[in-house]
Amino acid sequence: MNKHTYTLGTRRGGSNSTSPFFVAYPRLGSFISKWVFAFPVIFMGLFFALPLALTFVWSVFERTMFWMKPAFTLFAYENFFTSARVDNFLASMGHSSISVLIAFIIGFPIAVFVRRRVPQVAQHRVILLFILPFAVSEIIRIFALRPFLQRNGLVNDVLLKIGVINEPITAILFTPTGVIIGEVMSFLPFIVFSGFLAMEAVPKYVFEICEDLGAGPIHVFIDVIMPLAAPGIFAGSLFIFVNGLGVALLPNILGGPGAVNAGLIATQAISALDFPLAMAVSAIMMATLLGLLYIGHRLFNLTRILTPLS
């Protein structure tokens, strides 16, 4: 190395090193970057957190002919809790829970398998397969389930042909069973995604230790996977549960008269211009969600989900 010239700027080629504007006004640059970083947070606060928080306020407003006006009345809640709506809501909670269970039993082993057995580089690719169904609009996918499930649909045809049943099963479409099938079909990928993330919390050597100790798969699941992956499993299950309660399309297209969930009640209320009722249903949903999140956090410390992300 030869000797250097010890003057500022020459090495850097002067002006190309930094914009003269920001040298002159360095504080402006940091001012802008501060607000740029704050923007998404402000946006979500204003258009997501605030409207959802305000549902609690609007739910006690008084219904007018086409809109609502500020007041304090529990009429909307009374309307909800003293009609068939509350029964439908509770029933849809039951259906949603069954969907969670089925989706978990079908989907979670896939997440475990991919994490344990598939080569590291290919893992994300395999998980990516599960976003393929999203290529087609949810309404078309759900609508396309009808010909499968109806009386002369594909499922009955096949079952009749191979002789499992003699009479077509009528009790699939337009019943809670249909809704549950729809929920599992729509939301199963999410238990695979969250399970995959959750399995990050279970190091591979744990399986080797289990093999070494001779623990069977059920023991491995209950003693090792469950405690370590619980936050992720909970998050995935909660996702399916609340969407089962809140997505109106499913009962609308697949459900019968009895299958009405919170989402459908809310949209029907909006069509009927009963905004306080819609807001009351939304508020009840939000309360349910927050309550479940709180319980989940107390039980599993949900912040553990974030470890693989940071």
Partner 1 sequence: MSEKNEIAVEVKGLSKSYGPVQAVKSIDLQIGMGEYFALLGPSGGGKTTLLRLIGGFIRPTEGQVFLHNQEVSHLPPNARPTSMVFQSFALFPHMTVEQNVGYGLRLKKVASDEIKDKVANMLKTVGLDGYGERMPHELSGGQQQRVQLARSFVLETDILLLDEPLAALDANLRRDMCIELKRLQEKIGMTFIHVTHNQEEAMTVADNMAIIADGSLVEMGKSSDLYENPIRRFTADFIGENNIFDGQVSKIEDDVIHVDLGSSSIAVLSRGQKTSVGDKVSISVRSELARAIDTSTSSTEPLETLSGIHRESVYLGLTTSELITLDNGQEVLARQISDRYGGHTIANGTSINVGWRQQDGRLHIS
Partner 2 sequence: MNDDYSSKWGYRLKWLYTLLVVTTLMLPVFFVMYISFNENGFGARDYDFTFEWYGLIFSDLLMMEAITSTLNLSAITVIFVVPMGLITAKLYKITQYPLAVISLMLSPLFVPSDILGAALLVFFKNLNGAFTLFGEWVGVSWFDTWFDLGYFSAIVGLIIYTLPYVFVVILITMGRYRKEQTEAARSCGATAWQAFWHVEFPQIKTGVFSSCAFTLILCFNEYTRTSLLKGGFDTFTTVLVSQMLNEGMSEQSYAMSSLVSYIAIAIIGSVIIFTLVRSERLERIARAKAEPLMAS
Of residues 60, 76, 114, 228, which one binds partner 2 by CB under 8 A? 114
Residue 151 engages partner 2 in binding (rule: CB under 8 A): no
Piece of the chain touching partner 1 by CB under 8 A; list 3-11, 55-63, 138-146, 260-268: 3-11
Using only C-alpha atoms, the chain has a radius of gyration, in whole angstroms, of: 27
The CA–CA distances, whole Å, from 32 to 25, 26, 52, 91, 284 equal 11, 10, 29, 51, 40
- Taking the complex as a whole, the smallest distance from the CB of residue 30 to partner 1 amounts, in Å, to 8
Of residues 14, 133, 227, 257, which one binds partner 2 by CB under 8 A? 133
Q: Under a CB-based contact definition with an 8 Å cutoff, are residues 235 and 108 in contact?
A: no
Judged by CB under 8 A, the chain residues 264 through 303 that form the site for partner 2 are 264, 266-267, 270, 275, 278-279, 281-282, 285-286, 289, 293, 303
Could you tell me where the DSSP H helices lie in the chain? 20-24, 26-44, 50-58, 75-81, 84-117, 120-128, 138-149, 154-161, 176-199, 204-213, 217-219, 226-246, 249-254, 262-271, 275-300
3-class SS of residue 69? strand
Judged by CB under 8 A, the chain residues 13 through 42 that form the site for partner 1 are 13, 16-18, 22-23, 26, 30
- Taking the complex as a whole, the smallest distance from the CB of residue 43 to partner 2 amounts, in Å, to 7
Piece of the chain touching partner 2 by CB under 8 A; list 79-87, 109-117, 158-166, 171-179: 109-117
Q: Which is nearer to partner 1, 6 or 205 (CB)?
A: 6
The CA–CA distances, whole Å, from 174 to 63, 260, 265, 266, 294 equal 32, 11, 17, 20, 34
Q: Which is nearer to partner 1, 124 or 219 (CB)?
A: 124
Q: Which residues bind partner 1 (CB under 8 A)?
A: 1, 3-4, 6-9, 11-13, 16-18, 22-23, 26, 30
